[in-house]
Amino acid sequence: MEKTFEGIKALDTKRIFVLGNGFDLAHYLPTAYVHFMDAMKIVEDSGEDSELGFDSLFRKYIAGECSDRDKDFFTKTRQLYKTDDLRLSIQTVNDLQEKLINNGWFQHFKHHLTDVDTWIDFETEIENVLLSINTLLSKDFDNSTISEVDVEVDVSSEYGENYQTNKAEFDSFLGDNLVQFSPRYLNEMRFKSSKVQRILRSFSITSKAYGSYEEVKDYGMSKIVNLKSHDSHGAREKTKIHKKYRDSLFITFDIDRVVKKKYLDKFSSFYTGFKADELFKRLSADLECFSEIFTSYINLVINQLKPVRPFNSFGDLGKEIDAVYTFNYSNTFERLYPKILDDQLNQIEVEYIHGSAERKNIVLGISDLDEEQLKKYKVYGFVKTFRKIVNNTDYMFLDNTDVKLMNKPPIDYLLQNDYEIIIWGHSLDSSDAEYIREMFSLNSENLLNRVVIKVWYHQSQHMSLANLMHIMGKDIIQEWIKKGWLVFELAPDIYKENHH
């Protein structure tokens, strides 16, 4: 129905949905950071040739080894969706397992489950890791940093026998690509040392080289030996043999802090420091692989959860919608509310701001290179805006063809649209500040629009309000609330609307 005011004819309100991860969580889909990490830890630790179903992936939640809130969440998930139909095949589990074991970001984050609770924390920790690498790069080597001669290894067996070897043997053992890294260099960084060492190990920049002694000559109390290298599995096998056959000389050992030479700068015969480009290249490649792992999780778990019954289109979801923008990677809106999209006069498509798991172009990273010490390395491959352009996501926010947010032309009688932007489940954190500022620029004198932003919150509006004040300033937020342009509403109870 049309309405007229001040010589301007206004059409019906156009309704725009902006969705964040809270939208999926409101529908009891396990898309929280901790849900993903817990499920992937189950995959990594699963036995050989294992199939995994929903209850196996989320066993601690199903068994109630969690908070009452988490237990209630997964109880409702199992009531709303056909969770028994979900199954990851043996091949899928094996493929994921290999990726997880070899991925530096997963190995790093699985030891930070108590520090990193949300996807916002996840992005913050990525930046922290990059800054730790910068700390490493800011310190030059000294002449004791790389030990090519005096390799530190325990050369006595559990039986008190002593063994002799020489530099040539160790050079042969380490090969042409490996050297040993001294702990003294890192220890001078004091409290940052342990974190940097963990990062280097997680990304296999430093590692252990496994080997065993094999006897060549016996000179009474001292034995001359050859060294044989093994992977960790081979070293364990040798240990078993040694324990079984005590007369055999299979004494296993490992050399810690081994580093690949490709990560080191060298001048003449001296190593001078780490190579920035090689370190960041490794971190970037592993972030790409981590994105692939998360893409598989969304496609194989979240997108496969079929509702027991079709979800109801109620309230504002039952009205005509002109555009849907999602910061999520799942196809939840299309899967659960297909009728909403099909019934539109001009059928709309969901716009994926940070990419879609189905299209395999999801974006993970940080909001910007805010720290000057990172900008000098030009590591923009970790920045979401860079990744959105490279991955060709639907990053043209509020530029849908069905949404005409027009500039004000110099004529007196015009058609005007009122807009209602409903934000459902987005944290409104500064990581997406550019989009928030864009929404709050819509009620300017230069634009022929009247826009109301509705924030649908869960449990409390406090965090959403605080985040908006941090980005926009309290004066602007206060003005919008006074004029009725900004409204906070409790999000609908999806379980209540759909469980009968």
The SS3 call for residue 121 is helix
First vs last C-alpha separation in the chain: 35
Residues 288 and 247 in one domain: no
Instruction: Give the contacts of 434 (CB within 8 A, at least 6 positions apart).
Output: 385
pLDDT tier at 243, thresholds 50, 70, 90: very low
393-451 per-position pLDDT tens digit: 876 777 654 555 555 554 444 445 688 999 999 999 988 898 999 899 888 766 566 88
Residues 191 and 265 in one domain: yes
Q: Is residue 279 part of a domain?
A: yes
* pLDDT of residue 3 exceeding 80: no
Residues 304 and 400 in one domain: no
Residues 71 and 146 in one domain: no
* pLDDT of residue 256 exceeding 60: yes
Q: Is residue 373 part of a domain?
A: no
Q: Is residue 42 part of a domain?
A: yes
Residues 35 and 12 in one domain: no
pLDDT tier at 123, thresholds 50, 70, 90: very high
Q: Please compute the mean of the pLDDT values over residues 89-111 and round it to a whole number.
A: 95
What residues are paired with 163 via a beta bridge? Answer: 223
Residue 411's identity, in one-letter code, is: I
Q: Interior CA angle at 32 toward 29 and 35, to 5°? A: 85
What is the per-residue pLDDT for 456? 94
What is the per-residue pLDDT for 134? 92
Q: Is residue 388 part of a domain?
A: no
Residue 164's identity, in one-letter code, is: Q
The mean of the pLDDT values for the chain is 82
Q: Is residue 381 part of a domain?
A: no
Residues 261 and 229 in one domain: yes
Residues 171 and 304 in one domain: no
Structural domain containing residue 92? 28-138+275-308
Q: What is the DSSP letter of 431?
A: G
* pLDDT of residue 164 exceeding 60: no
pLDDT tier at 373, thresholds 50, 70, 90: confident
Number of domains in the chain: 3
* pLDDT of residue 1 exceeding 50: no
Q: Interior CA angle at 18 toward 287 and 362, to 5°? A: 20
What is the per-residue pLDDT for 69? 94
Residues 216 and 334 in one domain: no
Per-residue burial over 70-85, b if 16 or more Cβ lie within 10 Å, else e, is: bbebbebbbebbebee
Burial of 237: CB neighbours in 10 Å, binned 0-12, 13-18, 19+: middle
What is the per-residue pLDDT for 301? 98
Distances (CA, A) of 430 to 79, 120, 388, 433, 444: 35, 9, 17, 5, 22
Nearest Cα neighbor of 28 from 358, 495, 498, 427 is: 495
Helices (H), 49-89: 54-57, 59-62, 68-80
CB 379 within 8 A of CB 369: yes
Q: Is residue 70 part of a domain?
A: yes
Q: What is the DSSP letter of 307?
A: B
Residues 5 and 41 in one domain: no
What is the per-residue pLDDT for 447? 59
What is the per-residue pLDDT for 194? 82
Number of residues assigned to the chain: 500
- Give the end of a domain, one of 274, 299, 328: 274
Residues 269 and 337 in one domain: no
Q: Is residue 454 part of a domain?
A: yes
* pLDDT of residue 242 exceeding 50: no
Residues 102 and 158 in one domain: no
Q: Is residue 128 part of a domain?
A: yes
What DSSP assignment string belongs to 358-417? TTT----SBS---SHHHHTTT-GGGBHHHHHHHHT----TT--TT----B--S-SS-EEE
450-492 per-position pLDDT tens digit: 889 999 998 889 999 999 999 999 999 999 999 999 999 999 9
Residues 101 and 146 in one domain: no
pLDDT tier at 320, thresholds 50, 70, 90: confident
